[in-house]
Amino acid sequence: MEYKEELLPAAFKSARSKRERAVELGITPSSTKEELEAIAIARAQAKVISDGGKLSEYIKGQEFYVNSLQSAISADKSELLKSEYKELSIMNSSFDELVDML
């Protein structure tokens, strides 16, 4: 795979941030479903307090976020960087480049 050098630092920063945030929240590769659910609920409750609204409005998003952090902390570092790079390259590609990626 050919890499755009200008996207690599941002991909690295994103990958590192996800791994650091997982550690901050106590998420590990061996975290159980129940532990992840408790973290997601606590984060959703914090959103209700800070932003208002109902808990049900935030649960799915927080579950997705927490699960993505567990995936990041569990992933091989090289694969995580490639994944983050791919996401950034999609967001920074022209129509023709996106067609070529399909």
Of 60-64, 71-75, 84-88, 97-101, the one with minimum mean pLDDT is 97-101
> Is residue 1 scored above 80 in pLDDT?
no
Q: Are 37 and 64 in contact (CB under 8 A)?
A: no
- Asked if the structure places residue 18 within a domain, the reply is yes
pTM exceeds 0.95:
no
HSE toward the beta carbon, residue 55, CA cutoff 13 A = 6
> Is residue 4 scored above 90 in pLDDT?
no
String of DSSP letters for 35-96: HHHHHHHHHHHHHHHHH-S-GGGTHHHHHHHHHHHHHHHHS-HHHHHHHHHHHHHHHT--HH
**Using one digit for the tens of pLDDT, what is the confidence trace for 91-100?**
888 899 889 8
Span 22-33, average pLDDT: 97
- Asked if the structure places residue 29 within a domain, the reply is yes
Query: Tokens 């998420």 belong to which residue?
Result: 27
pLDDT value at residue 63 = 98
pLDDT value at residue 102 = 84
- Asked if the structure places residue 102 within a domain, the reply is no
- Asked if the structure places residue 19 within a domain, the reply is yes
- Asked if the structure places residue 99 within a domain, the reply is no
Which residue range(s) make up the domain with 38? 8-93
pLDDT value at residue 97 = 83
